[in-house]
Amino acid sequence: MNGSRPSLREIFLVFLRLGATAFGGPAAHIALMQRTLVVDRRWLSDAEFAELLGAASLLPGPTSTELAIFLGQRQGRGPGLLLAGAGFILPSAVATLAFAWAYVRFGSVPALGAALRGLQPAVVAVVLAALVPLGRSVLREVLPAAIAVAACAAGLLGAPPLAVLLAAGVLVALRDVRAQAAVALPALGWVFLKIGAVLYGSGYLLLSLARSELVTARGWITERQLLDAVAAGQFTPGPVSSTATFIGYLLRGPAGAATATCAIFLPSFVMVAVLGPLLRRWRMSKTVAGFLRGVTAASLGLVAAVVVQLGEAALVSRTAWAIAAVAAVLAASGRVNPSWLLVGGAAIGLALP
């Protein structure tokens, strides 16, 4: 890996670009970060990246955003943490705010459906291409590989991700313990703060939590408005949790958008800031290191499950299969930045009837 750390300016610009081009949801974001930071810039190894992914997966909050914050902290400590997180979130928040403005003014978000039909097959291919090097670095033993397969199956069956991650971590930690013994705006802000504190990386979970809090409990928005907000969050680059920006704008205009955006992402910054330094110390403990290895293996399995689920929803036509096949070949070759593959898929979806 590179011997010198990047400057704070470079950290911000790299994550700003990632945030501006990372279409397709958390799994695609992770794939793009792996390609940019591990393969292209060599800021860290696949094993180190996978370890931070495991830690981010274990925390509540949007996984890809927390991974960006962890990565920024690793390269630039406290300032890097803030700059990486802000850079990754900012393009999504701005783009979603623009969609919210158009939605309020014109009554709909045009062209989202067609673009998503082309984008989703490309997402499937890009994530598959990123899983291969991560799997090679992490799944070198029988137990982590078995955990990844089991976690993938559990994810497909609908098991709670947190339960899967904790069970995998405990399993490997217990194994290592045995080995060690042998060898040695207040209301609006509060709602989104609560959602951000318990959200585990999935757009579908965000939909469920937001529906419970905003539609059912308070009646602030309608079902249709919620679905349009989630669609806008999926179509814009960066974290899907920028859906909060859309909803905040609907409810209280620009001030509501700013409040909701800050509130939903604040828990991620706090938890990474608190747990990041502890993570470095905990790695010295064989028990904690074993727990993290189990969590890391399970997180890869859960990402694989997401790929399968996305594939079922996205690969519904010959065009979609063709987009996925071409994107997979190009992503695996390493000659094309995955961001362009995602943008290209969306463009094809818009161009075709």
Query: What average pLDDT does this structure show over 86-95?
Result: 92
Predicted confidence band of residue 297 (pLDDT cuts 50, 70, 90): confident
* Helical H segments across the chain, by residue range: 8-21, 26-33, 46-58, 63-106, 112-138, 142-156, 161-183, 186-198, 203-210, 223-235, 243-282, 286-314, 318-333, 338-351
Contacts (Cβ under 8 Å, ≥6 apart) of 270 = none
Are 180 and 309 a contacting pair, CB within 8 Å?
A: no
Q: What percent of the chain has pLDDT over 90?
A: 20
Query: The tokens 């529906």 sit on which residue?
Result: 211
Q: Is the pLDDT of residue 203 over 60?
A: no
The string of pLDDT tens digits covering residues 167-199 is 888 887 777 665 555 444 889 999 998 888 877
pLDDT digits (tens, 9 = 90+) for 298-352: 877 877 887 777 677 778 888 889 888 888 888 887 777 776 787 788 788 878 7
Q: What confidence score (pLDDT) does residue 184 get?
A: 46
Q: Distance (Å, rounded) from C-alpha 321 to C-alpha 316?
A: 8
pLDDT, residue 183, reads: 41
pLDDT of residue 43: 93
pLDDT at 265 > cutoff 50: yes
208 pLDDT more than 90: no
* Digit-coded pLDDT (tens) for 10-54: 999 999 999 988 776 777 788 889 989 998 899 999 888 988 888
CA distances from 230 to 245, 258, 350 (A): 10, 17, 19
55 versus 87: the higher-pLDDT residue is: 87
255-266 average pLDDT score: 92
Mean pLDDT of the chain: 81
- Work out the number of other CB atoms within 10 angstroms of the CB of residue 160: 12
3-state DSSP call for residue 81?
A: helix
Residue with tokens 């390269």: 75
As a whole number of angstroms, the distance between CA 188 and CA 146 comes to 43
Q: Using CA atoms, how far apart are residues 240 and 19, in angstroms rounded to an integer?
A: 11
The answer to whether the pTM exceeds 0.75 is: no
CB 288 within 8 A of CB 264: no
Cα 220 to Cα 275: distance, rounded to the nearest angstrom: 35
